[in-house]
């Protein structure tokens, strides 16, 4: 079956299949890509980057939003807000279904025997713990499980970690007697019990599909946005025309006429969300602000609302002033401003600018007649150490540019740390084996180290 499904990847064709079965097949066949669920008025994307699966919606909530959806597949690999290991993701998804619905799926097999395979013991504890009885006995009448662990049983059957058998003569005798088991099993439930449960499920569906419940789910979905663009299911490269379409779609759903009959607390929540969306859209609508938002997005600034945007504009303005001071070679003042910006924002580019400002500041290198030679040397040593500390922070925050690595090597040599300097130069040559500067410098450091070793032996 998977062969037929996999042929639809990137075709745009939609497939009608139960979500849990599709997910189970995708996990079993190590699918890498995205499965898009097309519901009536929305879409949900499930990213398969095994061993993990992720989605932008809470895993358990997907059971209600995509249970009747059509599905398309593509090879786009992404990451959602909610992530889990493949089988645990599937188990949580099934957990979102009501017990009654799962019981109705198992009801036709109530006369069968469930046998759990040994491979199932490798599953996560969250999955195996509720099924302890099945693992201990290995062969259990399905009838004993219909009132207890139906979701776990359904998961095992779906993933192939358990199989169904016809009962042996002795097992059939026990089933016919309806006896309870010492492990805590119960007698055979009558079909009526399952029908009652199914009726409860339909009642539950009716209740959860009310306008109020739908609105609650929609607001919860909107609240999980990651940026001002993400709120409109877009990014910095999306045209404003497409953003406007999404904006109109949102305000249509949150229009005051749609909120009139809601619970007061939910109505207030919806009104607050609408106010936030209007504020953000006004920012995007303005040409100048839109360009700034695009630039901030490319710089990976986290802007969630108008206040964040205004703060970012202020920070950006201060950054440009600090940059102007740096270009005017006012390095002490530039360092002070970049330090203030880094302390406030923790942005790595300001940390790098701090390092460059301190490195180019030669005030400590000039002869100050008020200081002794020893004091000047101490000041320079303090400067070298501070530069090294800043570079170490940069390394922890991401990839260090080669020119910064050269400064790191210089500071290490100035402090007499020849072994450290040698290692940094080797790291540079690993990134660029043809760097003649690093090659020459490394030869010099090796020569110094050899001279030191010779001096120690004498």
pLDDT at 186 over 50: no
Lowest mean pLDDT among 266-270, 295-299, 349-353, 365-369: 365-369
Give the mean pLDDT of the chain: 83
pLDDT recorded at residue 68: 76
Percentage with pLDDT > 70 across the chain: 88
pLDDT recorded at residue 175: 66
pLDDT band at 148 (very low <50, low <70, confident <90, very high): low
What's the rounded Cα separation, in Å, for the pair 6 and 71? 12
What's the rounded Cα separation, in Å, for the pair 441 and 376? 26
pLDDT at 49 over 70: yes
Q: Where are the domains of the chain?
A: 2-94, 97-202, 210-298, 399-458
pLDDT at 85 over 90: no
Highest mean pLDDT among 129-138, 148-157, 407-416: 407-416
217 vs 174, more confident: 217
CA-based nearest residue to 136, from 157, 151, 114: 114
pLDDT at 452 over 70: yes
pLDDT at 144 over 60: yes
Sequential DSSP letters for 147-162: TS-HHHHHHHHHHTSE
Residue 224 sits at φ, ψ, to 5 deg, of -90, 15
CA-based nearest residue to 25, from 116, 159, 153, 164: 159
Residue 105 sits at φ, ψ, to 5 deg, of -70, -35
Highest mean pLDDT among 58-62, 67-71, 189-193, 307-311: 307-311
User: Tokens standing for 212?
Assistant: 């109020």
pLDDT recorded at residue 340: 95
- pLDDT, one tens digit per residue, over 201-258 is 666 656 656 778 888 888 888 888 888 998 898 888 888 899 999 999 998 888 888 8
What is the rounded average pLDDT of the residues 36-50?
79
- pLDDT, one tens digit per residue, over 313-371 is 999 999 999 999 999 999 999 999 999 999 999 888 899 999 999 999 887 655 556 77
pTM, two decimal places? 0.51
pLDDT at 79 over 80: no
Lowest mean pLDDT among 103-112, 381-390, 399-408: 103-112
Q: Are strands 52-55 and 43-49 parallel, antiparallel or unpaired?
A: antiparallel
What is the rounded average pLDDT of the residues 11-16?
85
Sequential DSSP letters for 52-121: EEEESS-HHHHHHHSTT-EEEEE------SEEEEHHHHHHHHHHTS-HHHHHHHHGGGTTSEEEE-GGGG
For 210-298, CATH number?
1.10.287
What's the rounded Cα separation, in Å, for the pair 389 and 339? 14
178 vs 137, more confident: 137
What is the rounded average pLDDT of the residues 94-114?
79
pLDDT recorded at residue 143: 75
The 3-class secondary structure across the chain, one letter per residue, is: CHHHHHCCCCCCCCECCCHHHHHHHHHHCCCEEEEEEECCCCEEEEEEECCEEEECCCHHHHHHHCCCCEEEEECCCCCCCEEEEHHHHHHHHHHCCCHHHHHHHHHHHCCCEEEECHHHHHCCHHHHHHHHHHHHHCEEEHHHCCCCCHHHHHHHHHHCCEEEECCCHHHHHHHHHCCCCCCCCCCCCCHHHHHHHHHHHHHHHHHHCCHHHHHHHHHHHHHCCCCCCHHHCCCCCCCHHHHHHHHHHHHHHCCHHHHCCCCHHHHHHHHHHHHHHHHHHHHHHCHHHHHHHHHHHHCCCCCCCHHHHHHHHHHHHHHHHHHHHHHCCCHHHHHHHHHHHHHHHCCHHHHHHHHHHHHHCCCCCCCCCCCCHHHHHHHHHHHHHHHHHHHHHHHHHCCCCHHHHHHHHHHHHHCCCHHHHHHHHHHHHHHCCCCHHHHHHHHHHHHHHHHHHHHHHC
């Amino acid at each position: 079956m998977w062969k037929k499904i996999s042929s639809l990847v990137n075709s745009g064709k939609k497939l009608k299949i139960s979500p849990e079965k599709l997910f189970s097949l995708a996990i079993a066949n190590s699918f890498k890509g995205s499965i898009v669920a097309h519901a009536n008025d929305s879409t949900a994307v499930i990213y398969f980057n095994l061993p993990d699966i992720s989605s932008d919606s809470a895993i358990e909530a997907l059971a209600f939003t995509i249970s009747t959806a059509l599905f398309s597949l593509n090879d786009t690999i992404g990451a959602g807000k909610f992530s889990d290991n493949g089988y645990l993701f599937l188990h949580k998804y099934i957990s979102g279904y009501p017990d009654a619905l799962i019981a109705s799926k198992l009801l036709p097999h109530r006369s069968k025997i469930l046998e759990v395979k040994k491979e199932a013991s490798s599953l996560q504890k969250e999955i195996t713990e509720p099924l302890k009885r099945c693992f201990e006995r290995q062969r259990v009448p399905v009838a004993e499980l219909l009132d207890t662990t139906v979701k776990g049983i359904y998961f095992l059957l779906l993933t192939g970690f358990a199989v169904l058998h016809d009962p042996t003569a002795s097992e059939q005798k026990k089933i016919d007697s309806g006896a309870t088991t010492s492990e805590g099993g119960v007698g055979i439930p009558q079909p009526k019990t399952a029908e009652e449960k199914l009726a409860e499920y339909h009642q539950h569906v009716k209740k959860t599909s009310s306008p109020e419940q739908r609105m609650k789910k929609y607001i919860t979905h909107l609240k999980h946005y990651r940026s001002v663009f993400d709120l409109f299911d877009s990014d910095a490269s999306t045209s404003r025309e497409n953003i406007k379409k999404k904006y109109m779609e949102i305000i249509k759903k949150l229009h005051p006429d749609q909120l009139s009959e809601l619970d007061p607390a939910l109505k207030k929540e919806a009104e607050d969300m609408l106010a936030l969306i209007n504020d953000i859209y006004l920012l995007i609508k303005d040409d100048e602000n839109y360009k700034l938002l695009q630039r901030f997005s490319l710089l990976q600034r986290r802007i969630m609302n108008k206040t964040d945007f205004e703060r970012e504009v202020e920070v950006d303005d201060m950054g440009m002033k600090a940059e102007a001071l740096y270009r005017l070679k006012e390095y002490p003042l530039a360092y002070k401003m970049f330090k203030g910006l880094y302390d406030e924002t923790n942005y790595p580019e300001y940390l790098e600018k701090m390092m460059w400002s301190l490195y180019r500041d030669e005030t400590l290198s000039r002869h100050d007649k008020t200081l002794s030679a020893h004091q000047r040397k101490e000041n320079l040593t303090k400067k070298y150490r501070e530069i090294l500390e800043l570079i170490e922070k940069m390394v922890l925050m991401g990839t260090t540019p080669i020119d910064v690595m050269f400064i790191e090597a210089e500071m290490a040599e100035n402090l007499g740390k020849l072994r450290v300097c040698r290692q940094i130069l080797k790291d540079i040559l690993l990134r660029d084996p043809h760097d003649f500067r690093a090659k020459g410098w490394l030869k010099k450091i090796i020569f110094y180290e050899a001279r030191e070793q010779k001096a120690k032996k004498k």
